[in-house]
Amino acid sequence: MSAAADPKSVYWQVKLEKVKTALEGNGFTVSIHTGLDDAARHVTETVVPREKPRTVGFGGSQTVLDSGVLERIRDLPGIELLDARAPGLSTTEIVELRRRMLLSDLYFSSSNALTMDGKLVNRDCFGNRVGALHFGPRKVVLLIGRNKICASVEEAVTRVRTVASPMNSLRLRRDTPCVKTGVCMDCKSPDRICSVWTLTEKCFPRERIHIQIINAEAGF
């Protein structure tokens, strides 16, 4: 390492390259980006022209919302953005939009955790996000901040219980015990957002899921 090199930058670049190699070995397509804007630009300049989607859906993800990728997609001609957050929608309309997203051409989301050996760990409420991750949309793009990288599946589960679940409950203004304790209490609250656990070990078919690793903290 040269005297001018930033130790933190070198550390993360080495770590992210290792994760990238592991993910590719598990069948994922992977790209590393300096930040959310870089990832969003890659989507509009590379992913969209290659995939030519007519319909685009997305799952609940602060990372996706913060990236600005949805606004970029919305401005592109010939693409219908399926947005269940649009004002004025009834509960029935929201559910139907989420159902339509399962057959979209391109689907955006994130992951609650990513392990060093290239596995995805997620916890979901309705199951629409993890459902789309595993089957349905022709192409899935996940934006994942480096803060979500964990050494093992066990550590990833702990991260979900102590970081992702409480913070997402706070984001969604849910009245659950974890918003007060900062850790999952395995509650029976009607406001609970945690219903489904998934562990994604391989991408099948290969390269269907494109993981954009963000070399910065992003999302919860």
Tens digits of residue pLDDT in 185-195: 999 999 999 99
pTM of structure: 0.94
- Report the alpha-carbon distance of residue 117 to residue 36 in Å, rounded: 23
Residue 128 domain-assigned (yes or no): yes
pLDDT in tens, 67-107: 999 999 999 999 999 999 999 999 999 999 999 999 999 99
- Asked whether residue 26 is domain-assigned, the answer is yes
Instruction: Output the pLDDT for position 199.
Output: 98
Query: Long-range contacts made by residues 153-156, C-beta under 8 angstroms, separation at least 24?
Result: 153/115, 153/119, 153/121, 153/199, 155/113, 155/115, 156/112, 156/113, 156/114, 156/115, 156/119, 156/121
Q: Is residue 60 part of a domain?
A: yes
- Cα Rg for the chain, rounded, in angstroms? 17
- 157-214 pLDDT, tens digit per residue, is 999 999 999 999 999 999 999 999 999 999 999 999 999 999 999 999 999 999 999 9
Q: How many angstroms separate the CA atoms of 23 and 15, rounded?
A: 12
* Reported confidence tier of residue 7, pLDDT bands at 50, 70, 90: confident
Residue 135: inside a domain, yes or no? yes
Predicted confidence band at 2 (pLDDT cuts at 50, 70, 90)? low
Cis peptide before 205 (omega within 30 of 0): yes
Residue 183 included in any domain: no
d(CA 102, CA 212): 21
Task: Report if residue 165 sits inside a domain.
Answer: no
Residue 51 identity (one-letter amino acid): E
Model confidence pLDDT, tens digit, residues 127-162:
999 999 999 999 999 999 999 999 999 999 999 999
Cβ within 8 Å of residue 126, ≥6 positions away: 98, 195
Residues 6+ apart with CB under 8 A from 178: 165, 166, 169, 184, 185, 187
- Residue 121 — φ and ψ, nearest 5°? -120, 125
In a domain, 158, yes or no: no
Give the total number of structural domains in the chain. 1
Q: Is the pLDDT of residue 1 over 80?
A: no
Range of the domain at 76: 8-149+194-214
Residue 59 sits in a domain whose CATH number is 3.40.50
- Residue 166, domain member (yes or no): no
Name which of 92, 78, 128 is nearest 108 in CA terms: 128
